[in-house]
Structure formats: structure tokens, C-alpha cells
Structure 1
Amino acid sequence: MIGLFLQMGEGYKRIKKSTTLDISFNSETETYDFIADKNPTESLKSYSPQISQDLTMIKGEDDFEYIYEQMMKSVPNNEEVNTKALLVFMFDGDKTKGYKAWEVDAKLIFDTLSGVDSKINFNINFASDIRVGVAKVADGAVTFTEGTSEV
């Protein structure tokens, strides 16, 4: 299980009312045709990760209230929404020691608002290097410590 958190105000809040959590790594590669090789060689240049979300609109839920507010402010003004995202790999660790985690600066890019399905579709684009560390989740609050990946 993976927990997705966004920085909302002073702290991280979990995205809870989404039905998908797929991380697209969007690898960029380059192909070399070396003279000494029979076949071309493909090498990784970089990754450009993003997470597509379809958030169910439920008034009163922290995740919906934050995303809706950001959408209402940014879309009419053609503005970017900058925040931080935290991915907590809850299958790799435990409640006491914490879980392996990635923290990144992120940009929220809005895609569709469906009145029929009651969903806001948006992307969370990674906008920095991934900071590797440990996250601890207790009483609804999450903390992240960079640089420690032993759990």
C-alpha cells in the first residue's frame, strides 16, 4: 500500500478519496548505435514522474476542500499550484520505525471537473529531485526525515 500526501497549509494531509494511485515514471531514453555493437544500445537520460488522480468530490473532506480551493484560484487566473508531495511506501517498514518515503516539490495540473461523476481529475507533476527518507504516521499527522532510508 502506498499513501499519497500533499502539503496543505502547515502540514501534510492524505489524499483519501481517490480511486487510483498510478505513478508514471515517464522515462526519457537515448539510443546509441555504437560501431562495435551489433545492435543499438538504449540508455536512460532521465525520469519525469507524475501521478494522475481522480478525486471524488466530498464536501468536508480535507483532500477535496484543498484541491477544489486550488482549482478555483488557479484555473481562472492561469496560475500554477506549487506544493509538496509525499509518497509513503506503507508496505516497507512499520508504525514504530516508520516507512520508506519520497518527498518532492510538486505542481498540480488540473485536467477535468466532472459534474456527472463528481470527480476532479488532476496530475501531480514532480518538480524537483526526489528526497529519499523515512515517514512516520501517527494520529493522522505525518513527519518526514530526509536521508534515512533504514526502517
Structure 2
Amino acid sequence: MNEKERYKTRALERLKKYKTIPFLNTATDVAPEYARIGKSTIFDLVLNAQTEENDFIENEMPTTDVQYYKPELAQELQCNKGDAAFDYLYDMFMNLPTGEDVKKNLLIVFAGNVGTTDAEKFNAWNTKSTLILDHFDSVAEKIYFKFSIYEIERGTCTVSEGTPVFAKKE
């Protein structure tokens, strides 16, 4: 069966927001500990395509070519002391790190099971990102930040009891 036929015969599945999960590594790259960024009402993964216009003689109109993407994930997190992700970000907010101290590992697990019903697995990006703190709003009880992604390792992920396990794409 070719790719086009495969997609025609598939049943439709609505991808739920709670199944696309951003995880922040709050430990080290050698021994990661992932905290789910869950108490958020924003998940805005912008691809930021970097383009170039070429006005070739053979074409009536200019052609747009995509050179690369520079993804960014804007987030906010409700201020819940005891939430591992919030505690980590609040500590960053208090200390205002810069340079290498804001280079972080962000794991994004995307909705849409690519495994089986009995053994679910999901497409995932294991990224290197710059975590940019934006602002802390005590009235809204939220901290705002974004990840500027500069490296993506593609693969799959399983999540068991809230713990992700990433497998690099072969």
C-alpha cells in the first residue's frame, strides 16, 4: 500500500491537547529528570520559517524557498509551589541566569499514537533550547517564558506514570 492509500483508509482521530506534552529536564543531560509543563493554558509552537525570495527568469512571480526553521515554544505556568516545573522556573526567575545556564533540554511528546493499542508510543522531539524568561505575573499567578529551539533530535517516546522515555529515531 502506498502512502496516499494508507492515509485514505485510516480512521480519523482527534489529537487531544493533553496528549501533546512538553517536559523540561530539571536535572542533567547525563541523568535527566523530566518535569511536565502541565498547568498551562498556552502551547504555541511557532516554526518561524526562515525564507529567501528568488525572482527566477523562468517564473512569472518570485519563488519563496524555505532555508530553515527556528522553532519557539511560548509557555506560561501556573504558580503552584511544589510543582517540579514551577519550582525550577521560579528558582531561575529569582536568580536570573544567563549564558550556558539557560541552555536547557526540552522534550516534546506529540499526540497521535504511532505504536499499538497495547504499547503506545508517540513521535517526539528531544531538543536543546534557550529558555527565555519573560515575566512573572503575581495577579494572574503565572510565570511566562519561551523555549527558543536550536537543535532537534527526532524520535519516539513512551510515557509511563508521567515519566517519558525517549528513543532516538534510527
Q: Give the TM-score, by structure 2 length.
A: 0.79
* Residue identity opposite 1:81 in structure 2: V
% of aligned pairs identical? 31
Cα distance in 2, alignment partners of residues 67 and 93 from structure 1:
32
Aligned length: 145
Match of residue 3, structure 1, among 21, 28, 34? 21
Cα distance in 1, alignment partners of residues 85 and 64 from structure 2:
40
What SS does structure 1 have at the residue aligned with 2:89? helix
* Residue identity opposite 2:33 in structure 1: G
Give the corresponding residue for 1:113: 136
Quick one: higher RCO (CA 8 Å, sep 6+), 1 or 2? 1
Give the corresponding residue for 1:60: 82
What SS does structure 1 have at the residue aligned with 2:114? strand
CA deviation profile, 1:92-140 (whole Å, cap 9, x unmatched): 3356141111111111101111111111110111021x11111111122
What SS does structure 1 have at the residue aligned with 2:90? helix
* Residue identity opposite 1:4 in structure 2: P
Q: Which runs of 5+ in 2 are unaligned?
A: 1-18
Q: Which has the higher strand share?
A: 1
Once the two structures are overlaid, the 10-residue window that deviates more, 26-35 or 90-99, is 90-99
Match of residue 93, structure 2, among 32, 55, 71? 71
Cα distance in 2, alignment partners of residues 12 and 41 from structure 1:
42
Q: Which has the higher helix share?
A: 2
Is 1:99–1:135's contact at 8 Å kept on the other side of the alignment? Answer: yes
Does residue 39 (structure 1) correspond to residue 57 (structure 2)? The answer is no
Equivalent runs, 1:2-151 vs 2, <5 Å? 2-9=20-27, 10-73=32-95, 75=96, 78-79=98-99, 80-93=101-114, 96-128=119-151, 130-148=152-170
